[in-house]
């Protein structure tokens, strides 16, 4: 455990940041799943709308360092490819 006041504060900050990042990652994954659910259901309009909502969330996650930029590009590419196959 942290022995100095500085280390205790850093531990508190790290926990707050971890929870915040986990929440943002969870939200991003939910957006991706919403697109996939709409694709599987065969709802093209719903899938396109869900994709339009998911793209900014994915980009924001990459810009904030939660995921790598290439991973964000891969997410968008795979979702877009599945949309085009509909």
**DSSP 8-state symbol, 2:** -
The string of pLDDT tens digits covering residues 19-32 is: 999 999 999 999 99
Q: Where are the alpha helices (DSSP H) in the chain?
A: 5-41, 44-63, 69-85
Q: Structural domain of residue 17, as residue ranges?
A: 5-85
Q: Using the predicted structure, report yes or no on whether residue 5 has a pLDDT greater than 80.
A: yes
Number of structural domains found in the chain = 1
Distance of alpha carbon 49 from alpha carbon 46, whole angstroms: 5
The string of pLDDT tens digits covering residues 36-86 is: 999 999 999 999 999 999 999 999 999 999 999 999 999 999 999 999 998
Matching residue, tokens 């991706």? 32
Q: Cβ distance 10 to 2 under 8 Å?
A: yes
CATH number, position 79: 1.20.58.110
């Amino acid at each position: 455990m942290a022995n100095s006041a500085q280390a205790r504060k850093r531990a508190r900050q790290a926990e707050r940041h971890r929870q915040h990042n986990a929440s943002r990652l969870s939200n991003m994954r939910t957006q991706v799943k919403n697109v996939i659910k709409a694709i599987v259901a065969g709802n093209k309009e719903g899938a396109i709308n869900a994709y339009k909502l998911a793209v900014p969330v994915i980009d924001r996650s990459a810009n904030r360092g939660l995921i790598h930029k290439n991973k964000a590009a891969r997410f968008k590419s795979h979702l877009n490819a599945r949309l085009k196959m509909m």
